[in-house]
Amino acid sequence: MKTDTIAAIATAMSNSGIGIVRISGSDSLEIIDNIYRSRIAGKRLSEADSHTVHYGYICDGEDVIDEVIVLLMKGPNSFTREDVVEIDCHGGVLVTKKILETVIKYGARPAEPGEFTKRAFLNGRIDLSQAEAVIDVINAKNDFALKSSVSQLKGAVHDKITEMRSRIIYNIAFIESALDDPEHVSIEGYGEKLLVEVEKLLIELKNLLKSADNGRIIKEGIQTVIVGKPNAGKSSLLNLLVGEERAIVTDIAGTTRDVLEESIQLGGVSLTIMDTAGIRNTEDVVEKIGVERAREYSLKADLIIYVVDSSTDLDENDEEIIQMIKEKKAVVLLNKSDLTMVTTEEMLEKKTDHRIIQISAKENRGIEILEETLKDMFFSGEISFNDEVYITNIRQKNLIQEAYESLEMVKKSILEEMPEDFYSIDLMSAYESLGSIIGEKAEEDLVNEIFSKFCTGK
Amino acid sequence: MSAIVEEYDVVVIGAGHAGCEAALASARLGLETIIFTVSVDSIALMPCNPNIGGSSKGHIVKEIDALGGEMGKNIDKTFIQSKMLNLSKGPAVHSLRAQADKAEYSKSMRKILENTDNLTVRQAEVVEILAENNVIRGVRTFSGATYNCKSVVLCTGTYLKSRCIYGDVSSYTGPNGLQSADYLTESLKNLGIEIQRFKTGTPARIDKRSIDFSKMEEQFGDERVVPFSFSTDPETVQIKQASCWLTYTNEETHRIIRENLDRSPLYSGMIEGTGPRYCPSIEDKVVKFADKDRHQVFIEPEGLYTNEMYVGGMSSSLPEDVQHKMYRSVAGLENAKIVRNAYAIEYDCINPRQLNPTLEFKQIQGLFSGGQFNGSSGYEEAAGQGLVAGINAALKIQGREMLILDRSESYIGVLIDDLVTKENKEPYRMMTSRAEYRLLLRQDNADLRLMKKGYEVGLVSEQQYNSLINKENQIAAEIKRLENTNIGASKEVQSLLEIKESTPLKTGTTLAELIRRPELSYEILEPLDKERPQLAADVIEQININIKYDGYIRRQLKQVEHFKSLENKKIPAELDFLNIDGLRKEAKQKLDLYKPLSIGQASRISGVSPADISVLLVYLEQYRHNAKKQDMR
């Protein structure tokens, strides 16, 4: 553990209002001193009185991130009874996130789910009779974090991390089996070989970090699912949305393309769009799996885009979809408006309360209206998403960074010609950090790897 | 009919490596102790490999010594070859290993036992543990004699319902054909103790006169031998050493094994016990690592006054005729005469999660256990546990706080914590990779880590303790002096650096900074350091290590700080985990099964997540608060 000072975003993540980043722990004041600039030269917040408000800027070195108001609450007169600093910024997802990242860069760690409340409780700030309530908060937040850390992680990233971990553990196991049984296994000159591997891993991690900066590690936009019966034009809609200039879609270097998911910016709102198999009752096994997945995704989605083929009649499949999205946030797109309309807006209005927009994916008509609609829904707060997702991303980025630093230590040890046993200590840290991203503990992995890959023993 | 009834404080069952340490510790702490063995001639027997120590095991022996145990002293008196392994690696993995003269080792330990005050050696098979309301009352032997006592230490090793097997031949005996203990298991089960069955094996012993050593590589001991014990005078261990020999299996050996696999009791299902993966039989190695065209075979003497040679690397349970062919296919063993066959052995042991880290059973007051009975393997692992179990059996009777070693201070602590906290599906062997703070747990500083504890317990003398304190002070003072002694870029300095191929100084620095350079050391800098005090070699060793690896050591110390904070959050024994609402079901069940003593221990149980730990912390806080309120009423 690097530090016991924690930080998190305390406000809901939306593109309006203000954003608050909260820091708690013994290093809070030192951290704010390092990133806060006042107009008054040399002003240090650690020297300011408790419970005071300060105007200034948050900077990362020379870069000014935002104009802010900082609140100081020195322990024990704070929510957690530790030194607490709150940074109120202009809000907006990007700025708030950037400030949190800066706070972490300067020595805090992302708070565990429910950790502020837990600290407040353990430090006697919350009435001890409220233990159950505190436990509920921890559990609720943790459930979400668990769900998001696994489900939000892109499949390709998961695979990449798993693959890197297996390379790391193999190397640790080799070193350890040699240390354990030096007369059976020799590691003379191993440093050079390992250096090549470590340098490769460092490059790969660097790429992952870059992807994390661009929000491509996890699906952090609004989880959007396109549904509709087969041939309604779902895929053409997706292609249209993605294929335009406004779409930001890039692969993570070295990973396979995850065809189902695309991240796009539409009217300044970031969406993670999943194309799904058309929903219809089917006996075809493969397609059935696709349909099941579509249902599953729809349940978890923040927003559903339901594409209706206006050139055909509504059938039982449509009825099923309409039922499915009844309780969800959704937009109905009446596609193929370039053809003769069999199903009309009026007919749909009787069946659903959701907004209906006529489009033609083929002729690229109506997309602007969709864009405007989404913007409205987002800024009015009609669609939002849990800020834990952002925290998850920052937490994961932090873990990748930790793994990177551990491998840098390995590299340093090799270059300084330290003995081999020093390599495996930092390799293990890297292995554990990467494991936390995909929710896996190290436990007996190493011992298992040693015994399965290397022949040692008497 | 009248049977003998005698009174003791502590009864130790079994006189192997665990039992000997347990009995000596308890007797030396002033308690009337009796140790039972099925054969007095087999005290401290080494039924498998003829060596003590090795990677991480050597650390354990040093720790036993620092705590006031006997193993290190005994091997220093009876070794015939000694080697410091991993010398080219970092100091944390340097490991001492000595070849023992098995007969001498056993004889010498027997002499110690027989001449220790308060200790009675008794040959008899204990068949029943007597307990009332889950409190130990005594034991009963096969002949019906009763020995009343307050604590019992079970160190039955591989003797419980043991069965030796090779091919289709099997016999219900302990190792080396010794009598097994067939009744105790039932008594333990009646006390509610969960039993499991493990397996291990040993290679054949071959007559030295039938071996052609010219086809093998000779393996020598170190020129300068380092003793295991901190109290052994290094000059007394500079003896004439025996050699070991290295040879290899070959394609022919592997063919013989493969062709006869169907006759192996392991593959035919005749053996049910779970064997260790780290100590595979030669047939396992050939099957699992089919791509390897040869495996190493170490030929090691069993002692100076016997011709028996141990065939390290070729343990087996194949039939006798296959063994015969297999060994004879190895270079140098063409005419080998087998003295004792290789065999596998199955035995009853416990699932160690039934124990507290004190090695006392959670359910039965005064019942302790150590060694292979706890699901471990190896002489050293056994001795380490035996020592802790023996100490605690005594401390409990004396009403003193029992000894718990933690993961940040010793390998023994890692060993016990792993045994009582983790799922254990095979005999547990120590490895340096199991110790997360291994940079701190070195063999060279076992005294600095543990001798104070040994002194507080009462097994380390005042004199030893004083010299330890003196050593500590010398190390601290000298490191401080080196950190504060500036050194300029003078001609004398530059020329010494040049000779040692070290980059010349651009500006002044401290002596400590120079020692940090890999190519330099405390000793090398002597000509530049005029005010240096006279220091012993072991003090200088500590200075070098502490300065050179300062950065790494600091990082580990920081981790230890966090570890300790969780370890120090104790969980009350009466806490009912099943009643804590916010815990997930799996966590509740696991916590209830293992009944951890601290938050730290709880966090290491597989299936307990960080969120569960948070919930537990919150719950405990309220629990304490309520308990306090009740006290006040």
B330 & B406 share domain: yes
Domain finish residue from B558, B592, B624: B558
User: Minimum mean pLDDT among A38-42, B90-94, B256-260, B466-470: which range?
Assistant: A38-42
Same domain, B575 and B552: no
Q: How far apart are CA B621 and CA B633, in angstroms?
A: 19
> Minimum mean pLDDT among A277-286, A429-438, B117-126, B142-151: which range?
A277-286
Average pLDDT value for residue range B486-503: 92
Q: What tens digit of pLDDT does each residue of B385-441 get? A: 999 999 999 999 999 999 999 999 999 999 999 999 998 889 999 999 999 999 999
Query: What is the pLDDT, as a whole number, of residue A381?
Result: 64
Burial class of B349 by CB neighbour count within 10 A (0 to 12, 13 to 18, 19+): buried
B281 plus B206 within the same structural domain:
yes
Cα→Cα distances B373→B51, B347, B350, B396, Å: 21, 9, 6, 21
From B55, which residue of chain A is nearest by alpha-carbon distance? A180
| Mean pLDDT of chain B, nearest integer | 94
Q: How far apart are CA B596 and CA B210, in angstroms?
A: 55
Conformational region of residue A81, where left means phi above 0, alpha means psi within -120 to 50, and beta covers everything else: left
Whole-number pLDDT of residue A183: 83
Structure confidence at residue B568 (pLDDT): 94
Span of A360-364, B310-314, B538-542 with lowest mean pLDDT: A360-364
Retrieve residue A280's tokens: 């219809």
Annotated binding site of A: 22, 86, 125, 231-236, 250-256, 275-278, 458
By percentage, how much of chain A surpasses pLDDT 90? Answer: 27
A415 — contact with chain B (CB < 8 Å)? Answer: no
- CB neighbourhood size of A257 (10 A): 10
Using the beta-carbon criterion (under 8 Å), do A458 and B622 form an inter-chain contact?
no
B606, B615, B625 ranked by CB distance to A138: nearest: B615
- Which residues in chain B have Cβ-Cβ distances shorter than 8 Å to A441? 606
Structure tokens given for B539: 């003090």
Q: Do A138 and B278 touch (CB under 8 A)?
A: no
Of B534, B558, B582, which closes a domain?
B558
Mean pLDDT of A290-299: 69
- The answer to the question of residue B564 being in a domain is no
Residue range(s) defining the domain that contains residue B626 = 569-632
Give the E-state strand segments of B188-327 in sequence order: 195-207, 217-219, 244-248, 296-301, 308-315
Tell me how close the Cα of A3 comes to any Cα of chain B, in angstroms.
10
Query: What is residue A256's predicted lDDT score, i.e. its pLDDT?
Result: 27
- Contact list in A for residue B438 (CB cut-off 8 A) is 421, 425
Measured in angstroms, the CA of B596 and the nearest CA of chain A are apart by 17
If DSSP codes are grouped into helix, strand and coil, which group holds residue A7? strand
The answer to whether residue B287 sits within a structural domain is: yes
Read off the pLDDT band of A293 (50, 70, 90). Answer: low
Residues of B in contact with A418 (CB under 8 A): 90, 518
- Which H or E element spans position A22? strand A19-24
Which residues of chain A lie closer than 8 angstroms to B298, CB-CB?
Answer: 183, 458
Dist. CA B555–CA B197, nearest whole Å = 41
pLDDT per position as a tens digit, B536-569: 999 999 999 999 999 999 989 989 998 999 999 9
B527 is in an annotated binding site: no
How many DSSP H helices and E strands does chain A contain? 14, 13
pLDDT at B629 over 70: yes
What are the structural domains of chain A? Answer: 6-111 (3.30.1360.120), 155-214+391-453 (1.20.120.430), 223-379 (3.40.50.300)
Residue A62, burial from CB neighbour count under 10 angstroms (0-12, 13-18, 19+): exposed
Q: How many CB atoms lie within 10 A of CB B533?
A: 9
Structural domain total, chain B: 3
Give the three-state DSSP class for A84. strand
* Mean pLDDT, range A186-195, rounded to an integer: 90
Which one is predicted more confidently, A52 or A300? A52
A179 contacts on B by Cβ (under 8 Å): 55, 86, 89, 93, 432-433
Residue A294 confidence class, pLDDT cut points 50, 70, 90: low
**pLDDT above 90 for A204:** yes
Q: What is the pLDDT of residue A272?
A: 73
How many helices (H) and strands (E) are present in chain B, helices listed first? 20, 23
**Residue B444 in domain:** yes
Instruction: For residue A112, give the nearest of B88, B614, B625 by CB distance.
Output: B614
Find the closest chain B residue to A420 by CA distance. B89
A114 neighbourhood in chain B, CB within 8 Å = 611, 614
pLDDT tens digits, residue range B154-169?
A: 999 999 999 999 999 9
**In this structure, are residues B323 and B369 in contact, taking their beta carbons and an 8 Å threshold?**
no
Q: Do B619 and A131 touch (CB under 8 A)?
A: yes
C-alpha B463 chain-centroid distance:
27
pLDDT single digits (tens) A55-97: 999 999 888 988 999 999 998 899 899 999 999 988 677 788 8
| B89, B298, B610 member nearest A419 (Cβ) | B89
The beta-carbon neighbor of B315 closest among A425, A441, A458 is A458
pLDDT score of A430 more than 60: yes
Please judge whether B582 and A139 are an interchain contact, meaning their C-beta atoms are less than 8 angstroms apart: yes
**Cβ-nearest to B280 among A122, A129, A457:** A457
Q: Which of A337-346, B4-13, B185-194 has the lowest mean pLDDT?
A: A337-346
Q: Tell how far CA B258 is from the center of its chain.
A: 34
* Per-residue burial over A280-291, b = 16 or more CB atoms within 10 Å of its CB, e = otherwise: bebeeeeeeeeb
For residue B552, give the CATH number of its domain: 1.10.10.1800
| Highest mean pLDDT: which range of B66-70, B173-177, B565-569 | B66-70
- Residue of chain B nearest A457, judged by CA positions: B279
Residue A217 pLDDT > 70, yes or no?
A: no
Please say whether the beta carbons of A147 and A139 come within 8 A.
no
Is some CB atom of chain B closer than 8 A to the CB atom of A49? no
Q: A447 vs B617: CB contact, 8 Å cut-off?
A: no
Of B296, B432, B611, the CB nearest to A139: B611
**pTM as predicted:** 0.84
**For residue B433, which residues of chain A lie inside 8 Å, CB to CB?**
172, 176, 179-180, 424, 446-447, 450
CA-nearest of A401, A456, A4, A458 to A187 is A456
C-alpha distance from A454 to closest chain B C-alpha (Å): 8
Instruction: Answer yes or no: is B442 within a domain.
Output: yes
Considering only alpha carbons, which residue of chain A is nearest residue B299?
Answer: A458
Sequence-distant (≥ 6) Cβ neighbours of residue A274 within 8 angstroms: A223, A224, A225, A226, A260, A261, A297, A301
- Cβ-proximal residues to B135 (8 Å cutoff; 6+ apart), any chain: B364, B365, B366
Residue type at B204 in one-letter notation? A
Among residues B166, B547, B504, B483, the alpha carbon closest in space to that of B338 is found at B166
Instruction: Specify the pLDDT at position A252.
Output: 34
Question: Nearest CA to CA, how far is B127 from chain A (Å)?
Answer: 34
Asked, as a colleague might, if the bond just before A76 is cis with ω within 30 of 0, I would say: yes
* Residues B527 and B391 both lie in one domain: no
Neighbour count for residue B87 (Cβ, 10 Å): 13
Closest CB to B85 among A139, A182, A450:
A182
Question: Are B582 and A135 within 8 A, CB to CB?
Answer: yes
Q: How many CA atoms lie within 13 A of A1 on its CB side?
A: 17
Nearest by CB: A118 against B279, B434, B618:
B618
Q: A118 to chain B, minimum CA–CA distance in Å?
A: 7
- Whether residue A354 is predicted with pLDDT greater than 80 in this model: the reply is yes
Quick check: A138 and B618 CB within 8 A? yes
The model's pLDDT over A445-457, given as tens digits with 9 standing for 90+, comes to 888 888 887 776 6
Residues of A (180-199) whose Cβ lies below 8 Å from B: 180-184
- Whether B524 and B574 map to the same domain: the answer is no
Residues 431 to 450 of A: which have CB under 8 A from any B CB?
441, 443-444, 446-447, 450
Instruction: Give CA separation, A109 vs A397, B373, B475, in Å.
Output: 11, 44, 36
- Chain B within 8 Å of A132 (Cβ-Cβ)? yes
**Pair B518, B438 in one domain:** no
CB B487 within 8 Å of CB B510: yes
Domain CATH for B579: 1.10.150.570
Q: What is the pLDDT of residue A258?
A: 33
Q: What would the two tokens of residue A249 be? A: 């879609």
- Say what the ipTM of the complex is: 0.90
pLDDT at A262 over 50: yes
Instruction: Report helix, strand or coil for A328.
Output: coil
CA of residue A243 relative to chain centroid, distance: 24
CB-based burial label for B84 (10 Å; 0-12, 13-18, 19+): middle
> For residue B586, is it within any domain?
yes
Average pLDDT, chain A: 79
B25, B133: one domain: yes
User: Looking at residue A228, what is its pLDDT?
Assistant: 81
Q: What are the tens digits of pLDDT across the range A327-336?
A: 888 889 888 8
In this model, does residue A391 exceed pLDDT 90?
no
B247 and B321 share a domain? yes
In this structure, what are the phi and psi dihedrals at residue B197, rounded to the nearest 5 degrees? -120, 125
Least confidently predicted of A251-255, B263-267, B273-277, B424-428: A251-255
H/E segment holding residue B392: helix B379-397
Which two structure tokens, joined as six digits, stand for A380? Answer: 């009015």
Cα distance from B236 to chain A (closest Cα, Å)?
27
Question: Do residues B346 and B416 both lie within one domain?
Answer: yes
Tell me the C-alpha distance between B452 and B461, whole Å: 10
Mean pLDDT for the stretch of residues B352-357: 97
Please report, for the domain that includes residue B179, its CATH number. 3.50.50.60
Please give the Cα distance from B123 to A415 (Å, whole number). Answer: 60
What letter represents residue B487's amino acid? I
Q: Does B467 reside within a domain?
A: no
With respect to residue B241, please indicate whether it lies within any of the assigned structural domains.
Answer: yes
Which pair of tokens denotes residue B125?
């098979």
- On whether any CB of chain B is under 8 Å from the CB of A47, the answer is no
Same domain, B392 and B518: no
Statement to judge: residues B439 and B528 lie in one domain:
no
Give the integer Cα–Cα distance in Å for B45 and B171: 20
My answer on whether B170 and B225 are in the same domain is yes
Average pLDDT over residues B344-368: 97
State how far the Cα of A272 lies from the Cα of A301, in Å rounded to an integer: 10
B588 membership: H or E segment, kind and range: helix B585-594
Is the pLDDT at A145 greater than 70? The verdict is no
Using pLDDT thresholds of 50, 70 and 90, give the confidence band for residue A152.
low
* Interchain proximity B611–A134, CB inside 8 Å: no
pLDDT at A1 (0 to 100):
41
- Residue A278: per-residue pLDDT: 55
**pLDDT tens track for B203-220:** 999 999 999 999 999 999
- B563 lies in some domain: no
Of B194, B198, B174, the residue nearest B271 (C-alpha): B198
Dihedral sign (CA A418, A424, A430, A432):
negative
The pLDDT confidence band at residue A244, using thresholds 50, 70 and 90, is very low
Residues of B in contact with A136 (CB under 8 A): 582
Whether the pLDDT of residue A392 is over 90: the answer is: no
Are residues B143 and B124 in contact, defined by beta-carbon separation less than 8 angstroms? yes
Q: Considering B528, B558, B588, which residue would you say is the last residue of a domain?
A: B558
